[in-house]
Amino acid sequence: MSLDDISIKVADLHSIGSLDALLNEIASHLTRFIATGETAMIDLKSLPFSPAEYESLRTALGRGEVSARLETIGDSELYETHYSGVWWVTHYNVEGDVIADLIEIAEVPAILHSQPEDVRDGLERLQHTLSQTK
C-alpha cells in the first residue's frame, strides 16, 4: 500500500462525512418543517464540495415526480427530490451558467409562489380581457 492509496481513502472518508453531515442537516430542517412549518434553504454553492461529493448528493437525494422549469431572464430548474418537501433548485444566468444551486425544504419552493402584486396584475389583465369581449 502506497501513500497515495492512503490519501485517497482519507479523501473518500472526508467525502462521506461531508455528505452525511449535509444529509443530517436536511433531515433536521425537514423535521422542523413538519413540526412548525418553518422552511429552510441551503446554498450548495457556498459549500466546499468536490464535483464527486456534489454528484453523490444528487444520487443520495434522487429525483421525485414533481419538477418545474421557469423561463425568465435566466432559466430556473426545480425538482422535488425522492424525499417530499426537499427540493433542488438551480438558477441560471442568460449565458446558462449556474448562479445559484439550492436545497429548499418547503411544501413548494418560494419562487413558485405568486407574488401579491403579480396576482393583482393578473386580475387587472383578466378583467380587461373580459371587458373587451362584452
Q: What are phi and psi of 106, to 5 degrees?
A: -170, 165
pLDDT in tens, 33-59: 999 999 999 999 999 888 889 899 999
Q: What are phi and psi of 99, to 5 degrees?
A: -105, -20
Query: For residue 134, what pLDDT band results from cuts at 50, 70 and 90?
Result: low
Does the pLDDT of residue 2 top 60, yes or no? Answer: no
The model's pTM is 0.79
Task: Give the CATH superfamily of 3-132.
Answer: HupH hydrogenase expression protein, C-terminal domain (3.30.1370.140)
Q: What is the mean pLDDT of residues 82-108?
A: 95
Locate the DSSP E strands across 7-128. 40-43, 67-71, 75-80, 86-92, 98-105
Weakest-pLDDT range from 10-14, 22-26, 38-42, 83-87? 10-14
Give residue limits of the domains in the chain. 3-132
Q: Which of 114, 115, 112, 118 is nearest to 68 (CA)?
A: 112
User: In 10 A of CB 29, how many CB atoms?
Assistant: 21
